[in-house]
Amino acid sequence: MILENKVALGQVLFAGGSGLVGRAALKWFRQRHPSVRVLVGGRNLQAAGEVAQEVGAAEAVAINIDKPRLGLGDDVAVAAVVMLAPEAGLKGMSYAQDLGVPYLNINAALTESGPELALFAHRATAAPVVLASHWMAGAATFLALNSAKGFEIVQSIRLGAIVDEKDPVGPAALEDMERVHGAAPPAMVFEGGRRVWLFGDAAKGKFKSVDGRSLDATAFSTFDTVSLHAATGAPDVRFDLVNGESSSRRRGGEAATEIVVEIEGEADGRTKSSRSMLEFKHGTASLTGLSVVLSLASVLGFNDRSPARPGLYLPELLSDTKWFLDELRSAGATIYEDSK
């Protein structure tokens, strides 16, 4: 693809590329875009170098998320900045805006995204900015939006997800959740069309896993909640999380990542409900990395479409729902759908 060759001149920077999600994202990116050169950015240059060697057509660079330009020199040509590590100082976003290249971040929690929004507002025409801190970088939102297509009126959306205890990214994900919850109420949901913060018993919930178990869960703040409220107008939207045994592992398989979406509303003048489920046997880091690559492909214009113009984007505003889910399926996701 001609556009990919042009992007190759600039190289796509994966900041945090030597981490679990970074390695997964680079693997999926290389599989889909073999000719595009990448920069594997990390604090540990040796670890980044090992990843770069595995990926091929890549170079390892030492980055410092607390320094301007992430500590990189003026001679480093960058075509996009993919931020896979938490960056409290937003140096990666400023770097992308200075260069006028796309920026994609998966670590801005819903309760702490104000600085990103303000920085974008002050430089709205500088570059495309993608906030993809949704569950699995957007997989849950696309699953829900696909189900919502069958409704004329969406009344409620309930999402549930399992982080398997044996999933290697589980502890890191839980640590990040604790960081966010230490400074804010546990969860924001929509009830009766109003945003509500849940505390104590109100945050306790349940949902049925893929294999039908009723699981005790806890409400969790994600970008999926606000994305789905905005996209569907549903007055009730809630996301619940479980750290436990996935249905796949319980069946004797891998420690899979699991997402469940239940929707209630109206269609053809009658009450309707749907339940959709997604299992990804490769785990949390791999599904997150894949979703990152799909949004990155869309913002760069790799999907037979034009590159995104400068602006603020969420994953569902960049990619077609059917295309996104088909790509997940082709990578090994199993999606179940049921409505009545």
Q: Measuring CA to CA, which residue among 222, 223, 188, 215 is closest to residue 202?
A: 188
**3-class SS string, 170-233:** HHHHHHHHHHHHCCCCCEEEEECCEEEEECHHHHEEEEECCCCCEEEEEECCCHHHHHHHHHHC
Q: Is the pLDDT assigned to residue 2 strictly greater than 60?
A: no
Does the structure show a pLDDT above 80 at 288?
Answer: yes
Nearest 5 degrees, angle CA 200-CA 215-CA 204?
10
> How much is the average pLDDT of 284-305?
94
Distance CA 245, CA 138 (A): 22
CB 36 within 8 A of CB 12: yes
- Residue ranges per structural domain of the chain: 1-135+287-319, 138-283+326-339
- Confidence (pLDDT) at 322: 97
Which residue matches tokens 């030492």?
A: 62
What's the mean pLDDT in 176-189?
A: 66
What's the topology of domain 1-135+287-319? Rossmann fold (3.40.50)
pLDDT tens sequence across 222-236:
999 999 999 999 999
| Banded pLDDT at 186 (limits 50, 70, 90) | confident
For residues 327 and 152, what is the distance between their CA atoms, to the nearest angstrom?
A: 26
The topology (CATH level 3) of 138-283+326-339 is Dihydrodipicolinate Reductase; domain 2 (3.30.360)
37-80 per-position pLDDT tens digit: 999 999 999 999 999 999 999 999 999 999 999 999 999 999 99
What distances in angstroms separate CA 270 from CA 7, 144, 153, 173, 262, one per listed residue? 50, 20, 10, 40, 17
Summarize pLDDT for 110-148 with one digit per residue, the tens: 888 999 999 999 999 999 999 999 999 999 999 999 999
pLDDT tens digit string along 319-340?
999 999 999 999 999 999 987 7
Contact criterion met (CB below 8 Å) for 35 and 64: no
d(CA 143, CA 324): 9
The whole-angstrom separation of Cα 290 and Cα 240 is: 22
Cβ atoms 269, 115 nearer than 8 A: no
Mean pLDDT of the chain, nearest integer: 92
